[in-house]
């Protein structure tokens, strides 16, 4: 499950076996399942039993592979995959492409969660695109919602930072963004030492990816889409 995207039929069978085991069964008899699987899979704090849904757990495990490739670009597997599948772009901008391996299909499935959850921690701002990347941690989407006028030259977050005073250019922020966006941007600390921008996982206290936090993030995303 940490390497390959399991077929839907196998996922369904595993979830079914888990439910049967919980309610009790043998080869000849099946007991009534009094509570739906959604309730069983809900975390204990919300009144459920905290059982893992295998589909979400599979995706969380696969997301870890993508996280490792992003933060270990010089590893052998990262260099091989980049040369084969995304030599011209970054991993998060990659696509499945023709003739993918089973491992690459799994990584791409895991990227569906990484793309929605991962954000940039601003250092010097040179790597982060203002209009496309997720970098405003005070917003749920993490992206700028204001539209970009054609005549604005600003492209990178570093264009919004005064390199001498290590402060945000407030006059420029007023021209480009809404009041809410300005307040969220000004709350982002600027690196005095000019460190590089790095991608972090904002759903943990230390910004490092964990399968558990990714599982719960994916579950919350599904619930949000279900309304």
pLDDT at site 28: 67
CA–CA dist 99, 74 (Å, integer): 24
Q: Comparing 41-50, 76-85, 151-160, which segment has the lowest mean pLDDT? A: 41-50
Query: DSSP secondary-structure letter at 157?
Result: G
> Stretch 152-168: mean pLDDT, rounded?
90
Query: What is the rounded distance in angstroms from the CA atom of residue 43 to the CA atom of residue 26?
Result: 27
Q: What are the CB-based long-range contacts (under 8 Å, 24+) for 112-115?
A: 112/59, 113/59, 113/60, 113/63, 113/214, 113/217, 113/218, 113/221, 114/63, 114/66, 114/67, 114/70
pLDDT at 78 over 80: yes
pLDDT reported for residue 141: 76
Predicted confidence band of residue 149 (pLDDT cuts 50, 70, 90):
confident
**Nearest residue to 107 via CA among 7, 4, 11:** 4
pLDDT tens digit sequence for 118-128:
999 999 999 99
| Calpha distance 106→3 (Å, rounded) | 6
Using the predicted structure, report yes or no on whether residue 207 has a pLDDT greater than 80.
yes
Predicted confidence (pLDDT) at residue 220 exceeds the cutoff of 80: yes
Exposed/middle/buried for 104, CB within 10 Å: 0-12, 13-18, 19+?
Answer: middle
- Bridge partners of 198? 121
pLDDT > 70 fraction of the chain, expressed in percent and rounded = 92
pTM: 0.84
pLDDT of residue 30: 66
């Amino acid at each position: 499950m940490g390497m390959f995207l399991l077929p839907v039929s196998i996922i369904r069978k595993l979830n079914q076996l888990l439910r049967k085991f919980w309610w009790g069964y043998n080869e000849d008899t099946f007991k009534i399942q009094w509570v739906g699987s959604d309730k069983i899979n809900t975390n204990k704090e919300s009144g459920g039993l905290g059982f893992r849904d295998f589909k979400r757990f599979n995706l969380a495990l696969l997301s870890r592979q993508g996280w490792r490739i992003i933060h270990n670009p010089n590893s052998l597997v990262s260099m091989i995959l980049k040369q084969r599948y995304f030599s011209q772009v970054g991993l998060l901008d990659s696509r499945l492409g023709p003739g993918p391996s089973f491992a690459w299909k799994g990584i791409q499935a895991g990227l569906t969660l990484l793309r929605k959850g991962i954000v940039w921690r601003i250092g010097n701002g040179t790597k982060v695109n203002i209009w496309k990347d997720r970098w405003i941690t005070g917003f749920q989407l993490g992206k700028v919602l204001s539209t970009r006028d054609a005549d604005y030259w600003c492209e990178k977050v570093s264009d919004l930072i005064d390199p001498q005073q290590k402060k945000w250019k407030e006059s420029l922020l007023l021209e480009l963004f809404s009041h809410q966006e300005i307040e969220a941007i000004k709350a982002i600390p600027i690196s005095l030492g000019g460190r590089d921008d790095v991608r972090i996982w904002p759903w943990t206290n230390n910004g490092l990816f964990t399968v558990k936090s990714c599982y719960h993030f994916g579950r919350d995303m599904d619930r949000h889409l279900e309304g």
